[in-house]
Chain A
Amino acid sequence: MEYKPIRKVVSGNYAAAYAAKHARVEVVAAYPITPQTSIIEKIAEFIANGEVENLQYVPVESEHSAMAACIGASAAGARAFTATSAQGLALMHEMLHWAAGARLPIVMVDVNRAMAPPWSVWDDQTDSLAQRDTGWLQFYAENNQEVYDGVLMSFKIAETVNLPAMVIESAFILSHTYDVVEMIPQELVDEFLPPRKPLYTLTDFDNPISVGALGTPADYYEFRYKIAKAMEDAKKVIREVGKEFGERFGRDYSQMIELYRTEDADFVFMGMGSLMGTVKQAVDILREEGYKVGAAKVRWFRPFPSEELYELAKNVEGIAVLDRNFSFGQEGILFNEAKGVLYNTDAHPIMKNYIVGLGGRDFTVADVKKIAENMKAIIDKGELDVEVDWYHLKR
């Protein structure tokens, strides 16, 4: 069958819901939280309209139970999906470890939202980044199309490496903003993503398995190594699946870091998620004004694309890392990771951390331009500037 996309104008959340539908998820267990709600509402609508078959929707009483129910479903062999934000994700924390430890390929959309207090429902990456060490793959979407594509690819990748995957989109900027999304006809999704074939399931009554039993000090260590190894192997799988996706559907995701006009760049902006759309636009304008700049969008934060970062860092004088997140007592989380990767290499560009857009603070092309000026001055001076720049701070 020839690929002819179906174009729909949808929000990021609806893109996620359609992707879950097209992935033929079998169990959805979820709990409402702004700005995630319209994902699960849409899925409920699919069921109500008879648009999906064999989908069990479990309206749980909390996010902790949402993840627990997905874990049970996935262990019983089903393709399980959920979505949440901020407080909900934090409440799931224990079970995020459980999903990864039990090697269950659950896919979850996290709509990035700032952690309270103070209450906020707006965009901020600290919620998902705080789950960094749980053993989940993390994909950051720049736009609604990437939300859709990310969910489909994540199922395939997760089910190959037997680890859960999180697809992350920005509160409101994507979740509630409508845009054209090219959707894939069901038959072609089915070819790309066949039904899940679990290695082990609880439904094998002839060979009953026990999942998650006590691991003594004599064995626990190896279990952890296997997760570490699966995460490392996931890089290859991500690149292959990303390439296959490009070949089938025209959007290539073989690069874990998407590079934009970086070939001859003096310095680049690095960041994740929707803010990189703004950055790309600013790069075009800055280029016209004579700045040799580019953008490096980190698509996958886990596993971390160290190799690609090194290749990039070798060829630029500076990297301005834009973090819509913060680790108290340290610095921006992406900045911290990127620096750590490069320390053990011979690539040591000047790196500067800008904390931007926390709690949904507007981050615009004008802001990128100001940061460009600042970054250029630092590079011209040729000195390290180690201070974290709280860029928007009202003084």
Chain B
Amino acid sequence: MQIPENVKKRLSIPADEHFYAGHTACQGCGAALGLRYVLKTYGRKTIFTIPACCSTIIAGPWPYSTLDAPLFHTAFETTGAVMGGIEAALKAKGYKVKGEDGVMVVGWAGDGGTADIGLQALSGFLERGHDALYIMYDNEAYMNTGIQRSSSTPYGAWTTNTPGGKKHFLEKRHKKKVIDIVIAHEIPYAATASVAYPEDFIRKLKKAREIKGPSFIQLFAPCPTGWRAPTDKSIELARLAVQTAYFPLFEYENGKYKINMPSPKKEPKPIEEFLKLQGRFKYMTQEDIESLQNWVLREWEKLKKLAEVFG
């Protein structure tokens, strides 16, 4: 369908499409949706680095590519380092990096590839100040290898290596706060985003394109397959994660925190609303739920304080 130019200009989500149909993501995949928004925002002049993760598969087997932009598939733990090398090459060759007419260098990695095995390369990338954007799409487990826990898996979640069972062998560590680790590097820009709030996500992508130096976005990307949730609930789940303050939306820009909640005045909804739609939380006892709820509210208070003091 042809969209008239004057209409295109008014759209809050760019009409341009650089993510081909016919890819191999599951129905309702948040990662695929997120990647599509990135391509809509940045277009072809974007060099992607994607490590081992579901997105390697979504991007298509040789000789196909779902992405209508250059893409380097890399080893699981190397996203930050490869992006750094690409950015260095662009500089050496005199390309304009970033800005609307510049080249965007984007890393697109899962939570496992970011919070676990790729944390060192991420830290190096951030600390060295490369002019590029790292996006961690957070589906809260190693999905590509069949739903194993990562350090970004929440407390109480079933995964294939925290399978519940008689001994209640569940994930009993709270989600690692990768974004806090990122912010500790004092980079110019870090933000959380969610596929349920594409306008907010796209605004952040545009900001990352203008800001000099490294930026980081942690994108909440539901995985119905791994979360044992209906495929038509992905957006609802992503929205509930924000509304319960389980995954609050905020930005950290040059030392300042800003909360971007859709309804800032509202109190967080109870965490059960988020949990009950997902099979992965079915082994949780009341005590487990309380523990998670307390963690969510504690972290939410912390964030509000940060925004108050460093806003």
A34 at the interface (CB under 8 A from B): no
Partner of A61, one of B64, B74, B124: B124
Please determine whether B70 and A71 come into contact, CB atoms closer than 8 angstroms: no
Which of A75-83, A264-272, A353-361, A364-372 contacts its partner?
A75-83
Query: Secondary structure of the B side of the interface?
Result: mixed
Please determine whether B49 and A203 come into contact, CB atoms closer than 8 angstroms: no
A55 / chain B contacts, CB cutoff of 8 Å: 92
Min CB distance B68 to A, Å, is: 6
Please determine whether A76 and B85 come into contact, CB atoms closer than 8 angstroms: yes
17 contacting pairs across A/B (C-beta < 8 A): A29-B81, A54-B93, A58-B84, A61-B127, A62-B121, A68-B74, A71-B78, A72-B84, A76-B86, A77-B93, A80-B85, A95-B75, A205-B69, A210-B71, A213-B63, A213-B64, A215-B61
Question: When each residue 216-245 of chain A gets 1 if its CB lies under 8 Å from chain B and 0 otherwise, what string results?
Answer: 100100000000000000000000000000
B83 at the interface (CB under 8 A from A): yes
For chain B, residues 67 to 114, give those with C-beta under 8 angstroms from any C-beta of chain A.
Answer: 67-75, 77-78, 80-86, 88-95, 103
B binding-site residues for A, Cβ under 8 Å = 44-45, 47, 49, 56-57, 59-65, 67-75, 77-78, 80-86, 88-95, 103, 120-121, 123-124, 127-128
B121 / chain A contacts, CB cutoff of 8 Å: 61-62, 64-65, 68
A213 / chain B contacts, CB cutoff of 8 Å: 56, 59-65, 71, 73
Further 17 A-B residue pairs, CB within 8 A, beyond A69-B85, A208-B70, A210-B62: A29-B84, A29-B85, A58-B84, A58-B88, A61-B123, A71-B72, A71-B78, A72-B85, A76-B47, A78-B88, A94-B75, A205-B44, A208-B68, A209-B70, A210-B65, A213-B64, A213-B71
A27 / chain B contacts, CB cutoff of 8 Å: 85, 88-89, 92
For chain A, residues 111 to 143, give those with C-beta under 8 angstroms from any C-beta of chain B.
Answer: none
Please determine whether B78 and A95 come into contact, CB atoms closer than 8 angstroms: yes
Min CB distance A62 to B, Å, is: 6
Partner of A72, one of B62, B67, B89: B89
Min CB distance B92 to A, Å, is: 4
A189 at the interface (CB under 8 A from B): no
B85 / chain A contacts, CB cutoff of 8 Å: 27, 29, 58, 68-76, 80
For chain A, residues 58 to 112, give those with C-beta under 8 angstroms from any C-beta of chain B.
Answer: 58-62, 64-66, 68-78, 80, 94-95, 98, 102
Please determine whether B73 and A29 come into contact, CB atoms closer than 8 angstroms: no
A204 at the interface (CB under 8 A from B): yes
Q: Which residue of A lies closest to B77 (CB)?
A: A64
Please determine whether B88 and A69 come into contact, CB atoms closer than 8 angstroms: yes
B78 / chain A contacts, CB cutoff of 8 Å: 64-65, 68, 71, 95
A56 at the interface (CB under 8 A from B): yes
Please determine whether A60 and B92 come into contact, CB atoms closer than 8 angstroms: no
Please determine whether A26 and B74 come into contact, CB atoms closer than 8 angstroms: no
A9 at the interface (CB under 8 A from B): no
Min CB distance A23 to B, Å, is: 13
Q: Which residue of A lies closest to B85 (CB)?
A: A72
A50 / chain B contacts, CB cutoff of 8 Å: none
A379 to B16 CA separation, bound complex (whole angstroms): 77
A74 to B81 CA separation, bound complex (whole angstroms): 13
- With A59-B128, A61-B123, A73-B85: A98-B74 Cβ-Cβ less than 8 Å: yes
Partner of B72, one of A58, A62, A211, A215: A211
A212 to B50 CA separation, bound complex (whole angstroms): 10
A214 to B74 CA separation, bound complex (whole angstroms): 11
Please determine whether A212 and B74 come into contact, CB atoms closer than 8 angstroms: yes
B59 / chain A contacts, CB cutoff of 8 Å: 210, 213
A56 to B81 CA separation, bound complex (whole angstroms): 14
- B59, B75, B92 — which one has the most chain A CB atoms within 10 A of its CB? B92
